[in-house]
């Protein structure tokens, strides 16, 4: 959260493996009440306007429950990620950097972040592709989605690299940091690659 002294940002996607500049603390943890899905299209990073790729967003669990998600349902409402602390003198620079880096449909929100293995809670800002944004794709068949990711690429590189780095980044956070959606997509994407 923004205070006069510092600014915390929650990363659950590319920020997990590509940190923002000028952070001085990185804490693993989670937010509750959300579900992470590869349901945001990407025309500027992992895809192009003629062939958009797919990146993650987080969706309020209460809204997600109203959708027909073909992915095996998970009872989890916990999204693991990291919180980065940015000192006051760098806040404007980092905000500007992230607004340019992550502009495709995301908007800025505030969420309570729970630090792993502690009672500490930190208000964090987070970029969310809400269901109203034009890049929100919504429920997709996981096997089709994995194929789509394998075949997409954009200015930031191959879409599969984003998926695999996210999967690896989550494993490194905590033994509790599971995400069935990501783990399943990694498995399906590797299967497609080996065919
Ligand atoms: C992230 O948490 O890594 C992130 C997700 C969407 C936009 C920007 C950053």
The minimum-distance atom of ligand 1 relative to the CA of 12 is: 2
> What backbone phi and psi angles, to 5 degrees, belong to 84?
-110, 135
The residues annotated with a catalytic role in the active site are 102
Q: Do the beta carbons of residue 126 and residue 110 sit within 8 Å?
A: yes
CA–centroid distance, residue 92 to ligand 1 (Å): 17
- pLDDT tens for each residue of the chain, 195 residues long: 455 577 899 999 999 999 999 999 999 999 999 999 999 999 989 999 999 999 999 999 999 989 988 876 666 899 999 999 998 889 888 888 887 766 678 889 999 999 999 999 999 999 999 999 999 999 999 999 999 999 999 999 999 999 999 999 999 899 989 899 999 999 999 999 998
CA–centroid distance, residue 38 to ligand 1 (Å): 12
Is the beta carbon of 14 within 6 A of some atom in ligand 1?
yes
pLDDT in tens, 50-82: 999 999 999 999 999 899 888 766 668 999 999
The minimum-distance atom of ligand 1 relative to the CA of 128 is: 6
The minimum-distance atom of ligand 1 relative to the CA of 98 is: 8
Q: Whose CA is nearest to atom 4 of ligand 1?
A: 13
Q: Do the beta carbons of residue 181 and residue 36 sit within 8 Å?
A: yes
Give the total residue count for the chain: 195
Q: What is the pTM of this model?
A: 0.93
Q: Whose CA is nearest to atom 2 of ligand 1?
A: 11
CA–centroid distance, residue 13 to ligand 1 (Å): 5
Is the beta carbon of 39 within 6 A of some atom in ligand 1?
no
Give the tokens for residue 63: 């809204």
The minimum-distance atom of ligand 1 relative to the CA of 101 is: 8
Give the tokens for residue 193: 């690659």
DSSP string, 113-143: EEETTSS-EEEEEEEE--TTSTTB-----HH
pLDDT confidence of residue 72: 63
Is the beta carbon of 162 within 6 A of some atom in ligand 1?
no
Q: Do the beta carbons of residue 79 and residue 179 sit within 8 Å?
A: yes
CA–centroid distance, residue 112 to ligand 1 (Å): 16
């Amino acid at each position: 959260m923004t205070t006069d002294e510092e600014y915390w940002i929650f990363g659950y996607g590319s920020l997990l493996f590509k940190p923002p500049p000028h952070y001085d603390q990185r804490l693993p943890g989670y937010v509750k009440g959300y579900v992470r899905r590869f349901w945001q299209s990407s025309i500027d990073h992992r895809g192009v306007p003629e062939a958009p790729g797919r990146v993650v967003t987080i969706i309020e669990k209460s809204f997600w429950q109203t959708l027909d998600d073909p992915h095996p349902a998970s009872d989890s409402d916990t999204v693991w990620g990291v919180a980065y602390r940015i000192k006051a003198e760098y806040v404007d620079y980092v905000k500007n950097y992230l607004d340019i880096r992550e502009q495709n449909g995301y908007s800025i929100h505030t969420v309570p972040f729970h630090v792993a293995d502690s009672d500490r809670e930190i208000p964090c800002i987070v970029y969310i592709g809400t269901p109203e944004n034009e890049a929100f794709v919504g429920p997709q068949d996981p096997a089709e989605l994995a194929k789509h990711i394998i075949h997409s690429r954009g200015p930031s590189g191959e879409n599969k690299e984003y998926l695999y780095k996210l999967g690896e980044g989550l494993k490194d956070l905590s033994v509790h940091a599971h995400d069935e959606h990501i783990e399943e997509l990694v498995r399906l994407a590797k299967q497609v690659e080996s065919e």
